[in-house]
Structure 1
Amino acid sequence: MKGFFLPVMKARLILFIVFTSLITACNNPKAQKSVKGGAANTPASTKVIDTLPDTTISIAAVGDIMLGSSYPDSTFLPADGAKNTFKYPIENLSKADITFGNLEGVLLDTGAPVGYKLRFQHQGYLFRMPTKYGAILKDAGFNILSVGNNHSNDFDYAGRKSTIKTLDSLAITAAGFKSQPFKTFIKDGVKYGFCAFSPNGQTVSLLQIANAKSIISHLKANSDIVIVSFHGGGEGTEYEHVPDSTEIFKGENRGDLRRFTHAAVDAGADVVIGHGPHVARGIELYKKRLIAYSLGNFATYKGVSVAGVCGLAPLLKLQIDKKGEFLSGQIISYTQNHQVGIRPDTLNRAAIRIKKLTEADFTQPGLFISDSGEITPAVLN
Structure 2
Amino acid sequence: MMKKIFGFFVLFIGLATFLSCQGRQTQDTTVTDSLQKSSSLAKVERGIKDTISIVAVGDIMLGSAFPSKLNLPPDDAINSFKAVDTFLKGDIVFGNLEGCFLNSGNSSKCKGINPNNCYAFRMPDRYAGIFKTAGFNVLSVANNHVGDFNAKGRKNTAKILDSLQINYAGQLDKPFDLFTIDSVKYAFAAFAPNENTVDIRKIDSAKMLVKKLKEQADIVIVSFHGGGEGARFEHVTRKKEIFYKENRGNVYAFAHGVIDAGADVVLGHGPHVTRAVEVYKNKFIAYSLGNFCTYGMFSLKGPNGIAPLLQLKLNSKGDFLYADVVSVKQDKINRLTVDETHAAFHKIKSLTDMDFKGHGLKFENNRISLNEK
Bin of the TM-score, shorter chain as denominator length: 0.7 to 0.9
2:81 is aligned with 1:86? yes
Partner residue in 1 for 2:211: 217
Alignment RMSD: 1.9
Mapped to 2, the partners of 1:365 and 1:112 lie a distance apart of: 47
TM-score (ref. length: structure 1)? 0.86
Q: 2:109·2:148 contact (CA, 8 Å) conserved in 1?
A: no
Aligned amino acid, residue 243 of structure 1: T
Partner residue in 2 for 1:9: none
Q: 1:103·1:145 contact (CA, 8 Å) conserved in 2?
A: yes
Residue pairs, 1:201-240, within 5 angstroms = 201-240=195-234
2:348 is aligned with 1:379? no
Partner residue in 1 for 2:115: 121
2:56 is aligned with 1:61? yes
2:329 is aligned with 1:335? yes
What's the CA shift for 1:53?
Answer: 5.3
Partner residue in 2 for 1:149: 143
User: Aligned pair in 2 of structure 1 residues 49, 215: CA closer, same or farther (>3 Å)?
Assistant: farther
Structure 2: stretches of 5+ with no match in the other structure: 1-32
2:96 pairs with 67, 81, 102, which one?
Answer: 102
What's the CA shift for 1:116?
Answer: 6.7
Q: 1:114·1:153 contact (CA, 8 Å) conserved in 2?
A: no
What's the CA shift for 1:300?
Answer: 0.3
What's the CA shift for 1:114?
Answer: 2.9
Mapped to 1, the partners of 2:126 and 2:370 lie a distance apart of: 41
Mapped to 1, the partners of 2:189 and 2:343 lie a distance apart of: 30
Mapped to 2, the partners of 1:242 and 1:346 lie a distance apart of: 26
User: Aligned pair in 2 of structure 1 residues 238, 54: CA closer, same or farther (>3 Å)?
Assistant: same
Mapped to 2, the partners of 1:117 and 1:151 lie a distance apart of: 16
What's the CA shift for 1:54?
Answer: 4.7
User: Aligned pair in 2 of structure 1 residues 115, 279: CA closer, same or farther (>3 Å)?
Assistant: closer
User: Aligned pair in 2 of structure 1 residues 140, 201: CA closer, same or farther (>3 Å)?
Assistant: same
TM-score (ref. length: structure 2)? 0.88
What's the CA shift for 1:367?
Answer: 1.6
Aligned amino acid, residue 149 of structure 2: F
Partner residue in 2 for 1:195: 189
Residue pairs, 1:317-332, within 5 angstroms = 317-332=311-326
Q: 2:109·2:120 contact (CA, 8 Å) conserved in 1?
A: no
Q: 2:52·2:313 contact (CA, 8 Å) conserved in 1?
A: yes
Report SS of the residue matched to 2:59.
strand
Mapped to 2, the partners of 1:163 and 1:53 lie a distance apart of: 32
1:283-318 per-position Cα deviation (integer Å, ceiling 9, x unaligned): 000000000000000000011101111110210110
Residue pairs, 1:274-353, within 5 angstroms = 274-353=268-347
Mapped to 1, the partners of 2:361 and 2:57 lie a distance apart of: 20
Aligned amino acid, residue 223 of structure 1: A
Report SS of the residue matched to 2:86.
helix
Mapped to 1, the partners of 2:242 and 2:264 lie a distance apart of: 27
**Number of equivalences:** 342
Between the two proteins, what is the percent identity of the paired residues?
48
Aligned amino acid, residue 57 of structure 2: V
Mapped to 1, the partners of 2:357 and 2:164 lie a distance apart of: 43
Partner residue in 1 for 2:263: 269
1:250 pairs with 227, 241, 244, which one?
Answer: 244
Structure 1: stretches of 5+ with no match in the other structure: 1-35
What's the CA shift for 1:379?
Answer: 3.2
Q: 1:232·1:274 contact (CA, 8 Å) conserved in 2?
A: yes
Partner residue in 1 for 2:133: 139
User: Aligned pair in 2 of structure 1 residues 79, 208: CA closer, same or farther (>3 Å)?
Assistant: same
Mapped to 2, the partners of 1:83 and 1:114 lie a distance apart of: 29
What's the CA shift for 1:339?
Answer: 1.4
What's the CA shift for 1:39?
Answer: 5.5
Report SS of the residue matched to 1:200.
coil
User: Aligned pair in 2 of structure 1 residues 53, 297: CA closer, same or farther (>3 Å)?
Assistant: closer
User: Aligned pair in 2 of structure 1 residues 322, 119: CA closer, same or farther (>3 Å)?
Assistant: farther
The structure having more radius of gyration, on CA atoms, is 1
Partner residue in 2 for 1:356: 350
Mapped to 1, the partners of 2:332 and 2:269 lie a distance apart of: 20
Q: 1:64·1:278 contact (CA, 8 Å) conserved in 2?
A: yes
Mapped to 1, the partners of 2:346 and 2:39 lie a distance apart of: 44
1:167-195 per-position Cα deviation (integer Å, ceiling 9, x unaligned): 11111001010111100000000000000
2:175 pairs with 139, 156, 181, which one?
Answer: 181
